[in-house]
Amino acid sequence: MYDQDNPTAVEVGTDPRLPTIVKPTRYDLRLEPNLPAANFSGEETIAIEVERATDQIVLHALELEILEAEAARGATRLQGKVEFVPALEQARLRFDHALEPGGWTLRLRFKGILNDKLHGFYRSQYRDPAGAEHLIASTQFEATDARRAFPCWDEPAFKARFKVTLVVAPGLTAISNAGVESERKLPDGRQEVVFRDSIPMSTYLVAFIVGEFVATAPVDAGTPLRVVHVPGKQALTGWALQIGAFSLKFFANYYGLPYPGDKLDLIAIPDFASGAMENLGAITFRETALLIDDRQASRAELERVADVVSHENAHMWFGDLVTMQWWNGIWLNEAFATFMEMLAVDAWKPHWRRWESFALSRGSAMAIDGLSSTRSIEYPVRTAEDARAMFDVLTYEKGAAVLRMLEQYLGAEEFRKGIALYLRRHEYGNTETGDLWDALQESSREPVRSLMDSWIFQPGFPIVEAAKTADGKGLRLSQRRFFYLPQADAEPQRWHIPVMVRVRTADGAVNHKLLMDAAEAKLDAGEPFTWALVNEGGHGFYRVSYAPELLAALTHSLGELKPTERFGLMSDSWVATVAGLKPVDEFLAFARRFSTETDLNVWRALAGAFNYLDLIVDDRERAEFASAVRSVAGPAFERMGWEPKPGEDELTRQLRGTLANISGTLGEDPGIQRQAVALYERARKDPASVDRDVMPALVAIVGHSGDAARYAEFKQNFKSAQTPQGEQRYLFALAAFTRPELLRETMAMTLNGEVRTQNAPYLMHALLVNRACRYEAWDFMRRNWDQMTAKFPDAALPRMCEGVTVLLDRESEVREFFATHRVRLGGKLIDQHLERLAVAVAFREREGARLSAALREKPSPNV
């Protein structure tokens, strides 16, 4: 028997991994989805290579019925008996005679369901403007759900060609990975669409999409590129086509390899579990990540679409053409796609300074990686659940950040050459992390492997302490692992840290570079200096702690620092506060120096700190806290005003919205709240009268102080929105009101069918982190747990549960809940959520009194 509680059991017949003595090389796959009946039937002929004689073939199948299995070679026909092993998601075909080594064909007939959990082959629906319901069938196979659509070798290393045929009802469009080869009408009136062979690829990249879709005319991006959507959304496709074409050409050029497919469709699906999925040639998206009105959307929304399209396009090479051997190496896909996404968007819109805002993502990875329950980037995976748990900030953001660190250390062109070599060498194949280091090391002649192993195979990251040397001409540096909660018995760890330092001497600023691989190091600047900035450029995946005299010198020279450097100072200082390395009153005094700050990202870092404090402070201190927020953000907003200035750049426009939002919600500024209502009313009559980057702030502020009438209005706006972004904006605003009775209505919406299951878990998350209703939301989630886990897509549950990290008054209850419910999030996610909660509780216990005192004190004037 397979022991569910012991996923490491490996006796024969208990392994979730497939034997490798039989390998598929080509699938000829025919599927007949019946949308109204929510099921499908299928037939496949798989060309296989048998390496050793066997009377048994093991492959993956889940929620499928296999009607017939036959192995054939020449005139030999062997009928297989089918046995399912549900715990392993496998089917075994047993034959009376052994299949001798060599090539065979395996023919299977099967049936399955179009489920509503947004994985495998699933159904989606939408209502047209006239109110009629329409059905769609679509697929989401990564990581391990191709097995729900057809019996297959559902592991990334079993690459094969796929020839797909879809039989669909008249009037429906069918799309798959490759272009259409032929099409004909069957005697029963249905349409048979035959697609060309795909390149050799992994099962998780196969896709079938069926519905009443409309496609834009193809644009030439080195391959014909289209955006595909449900009818009526043509006007929302231009932006994705632009970044789609730009990024495809950018990547073909960067990688030095042409696009590997024969066409590319970017397809918006009304129900979609994650943001987007890189099926080769048929990338699927949730609508908010693809369709956008570029004349009205905010810059942040436009950037989101650009990011996602660019990310998925990057995968056509990184992931699709060259694929990790197994899920432990998923960072090779996702970290790279994230890195390349930034690179292409940065090249497309340099004035967005995309790498600077990436600092926020780096910070979110460090927030998890500073926990003792973190994991290394590469991490063992056995089961499907383990694989799912790998799609987290450590894989994406930490992975991308350490790549950026390496790229900056090697130089952009050296790095690119290594990447191009790696892709060329492994095209159509599978790789391990070491293959990447080999290529980079070969082309750059630098010790890439030893440098990177310390980042990929070790959990956590270092904090670098810096002090002036006795002669005043250098820095003494030391490294140790950073922890939010003190770990008495932690093993000492070392990283190979490329340390970049900018030193201000009498002659100006000079950069120094040092590869620190020991516990301590000395950097000699050669002459006395006024200040020294460690982690210059902010590309390093580490935190810096300065000795008091160094910090004071920097704090008094903020004007000489670049925005990324101020960002680093601000976020290192905040993180040190949360970790107990610096008292909170000191942080507040430090934050007050930033009221003249003009950089968007620095403000976003500060807003993150305020948001955290908002969930820590007691109700009785809420007014003092708001006043402290106003004292920092207020003057900055006053300087900007509501109206954009001529010649202002896009980031500054966005900053205006951010500052208004902070002041009007966390800061409870009554003047700003009143003005926001007035402007919002004006925008209702004349949308063009309010800046696109101010509008999201108006919605947030108006909702924050809104009553039942406003709630009803927002709900109506959500339902009648003309764009995915409008719909999303008003939906999430319904979780940001402050009156409990209104928030209760939003809670109900997560389950009553008014909100798609693709959004409900995120909405629940938003309710859990709203201080006005967090504990009630927690009770609601616990009460409805079984229903939620049954309905919501598994992929979104970790995000929903992340909301428990702010339930400070219910820590023991939260622990008990996760101890007694088998919450299958996989990996270490639950432990991480619980530890984050413990960090917040410890912070409040440690700093509470100091925080109250600091809030009651009148802020000292800026000096």
Task: Report how far apart, in Å, the C-alpha atoms of 610 and of each of 119, 391, 798, 802, 832 are.
Answer: 37, 28, 24, 19, 22
The span from the CA of 108 to the CA of 45, in Å, is 7
DSSP string computed for 285-338: EEGGGT---TTTS-HHHHHHHHHHHHHHHHHTTBTTTBEESSGGGTHHHHHHHH
The span from the CA of 264 to the CA of 225, in Å, is 5
Q: Which two tokens stand for residue 796?
A: 């979104």
- List, as own/partner pairs, every contact residues 706-709 make where C-beta atoms lie below 8 angstroms and the sequence separation is at least 24, other chains included: 706/737, 706/739, 706/742, 707/739, 708/739, 708/741, 708/742
The span from the CA of 587 to the CA of 573, in Å, is 7
* Sole binder of ligand BES in the list 154, 265, 293, 312 (CB under 6 A): 312
C-alpha 281: how far from chain center: 21
* Sole binder of Zn ion in the list 334, 397, 438, 650 (CB under 5 A): 334
Interface of this chain with ligand BES, residues 278 to 307, rule: CB under 6 A: 278, 307
Q: Which is nearer to ligand BES, 193 or 340 (CB)?
A: 340
Q: From the CB of 174, what's the least distance to ligand BES, in Å?
A: 22
* Sole binder of ligand BES in the list 32, 334, 599, 691 (CB under 6 A): 334
Residue 335: CA atoms inside 13 Å, Cβ hemisphere, count?
28
The span from the CA of 107 to the CA of 558, in Å, is 70
* Sole binder of ligand BES in the list 423, 632, 795, 800 (CB under 6 A): 795
* Sole binder of ligand BES in the list 174, 308, 578, 834 (CB under 6 A): 308
Binding mask 129-148 for ligand BES (x = CB under 6 A): -------------xx-----
- List, as own/partner pairs, every contact residues 53-57 make where C-beta atoms lie below 8 angstroms and the sequence separation is at least 24, other chains included: 53/98, 53/99, 53/100, 53/101, 54/21, 54/22, 54/98, 54/99, 55/94, 55/95, 55/96, 55/97, 55/98, 55/99, 56/92, 56/93, 56/94, 56/95, 57/22, 57/92, 57/93, 57/95, 57/99, 57/106
Residue 599 in contact with ligand BES, rule: CB under 6 A: no
The span from the CA of 225 to the CA of 263, in Å, is 6
Q: Which is nearer to Zn ion, 337 or 533 (CB)?
A: 337
Binding mask 261-280 for ligand BES (x = CB under 6 A): -------------xxxxx--
Q: Which is nearer to ligand BES, 308 or 834 (CB)?
A: 308
Residue 397 in contact with ligand BES, rule: CB under 6 A: no
Q: Which is nearer to ligand BES, 90 or 274 (CB)?
A: 274
143 binds, among Zn ion, ligand BES, none (CB under 5 to 8 A by kind): ligand BES
Residue 337 in contact with Zn ion, rule: CB under 5 A: yes
Q: From the CB of 338, what's the least distance to Zn ion, in Å?
A: 7
Q: Which is nearer to Zn ion, 358 or 780 (CB)?
A: 358
The span from the CA of 369 to the CA of 361, in Å, is 12
Task: Mark the segment that binds ligand BES (CB under 6 A) among 308-316, 654-662, 716-724, 844-852.
Answer: 308-316
The span from the CA of 220 to the CA of 41, in Å, is 36
Q: What letter represents residue 546's amino acid?
A: Y
795 binds, among Zn ion, ligand BES, none (CB under 5 to 8 A by kind): ligand BES
Q: Which two tokens stand for residue 721?
A: 């929105």
Question: Do the beta carbons of residue 415 and residue 398 sit within 8 Å?
Answer: no
Q: Could you confirm whether 49 is annotated as catalytic?
A: no
Q: From the CB of 278, what's the least distance to ligand BES, in Å?
A: 5
Q: From the CB of 425, what's the least distance to Zn ion, in Å?
A: 22
Instruction: Select which of 155, 287, 312, 414 is catalytic.
Output: 312
Q: Which is nearer to ligand BES, 391 or 587 (CB)?
A: 391
Phi/psi of residue 470, each to 5°? -60, -35
Q: Which is nearer to ligand BES, 329 or 706 (CB)?
A: 329
Task: Mark the segment that binds Zn ion (CB under 5 A) among 199-207, 328-336, 355-363, 851-859.
Answer: 328-336
Q: Which is nearer to Zn ion, 334 or 356 (CB)?
A: 334
* Sole binder of ligand BES in the list 123, 311, 353, 715 (CB under 6 A): 311
Number of residues that bind ligand BES (CB under 6 A): 16
Q: From the CB of 329, what's the least distance to Zn ion, in Å?
A: 14
Residue with nearest beta carbon to Zn ion: 337
Q: From the CB of 31, what's the least distance to ligand BES, in Å?
A: 21
Q: From the CB of 314, what's the least distance to ligand BES, in Å?
A: 9
Q: What letter represents residue 128's amino acid?
A: D
- Beta pairing partners, 40: 33, 112
Q: Which two tokens stand for residue 586?
A: 């000191």
Q: Which residues are catalytic?
A: 312
Residues that bind Zn ion (CB under 5 A): 334, 337
Residues that bind ligand BES (CB under 6 A): 142-143, 274-278, 307-308, 311-312, 315, 334, 337, 391, 795
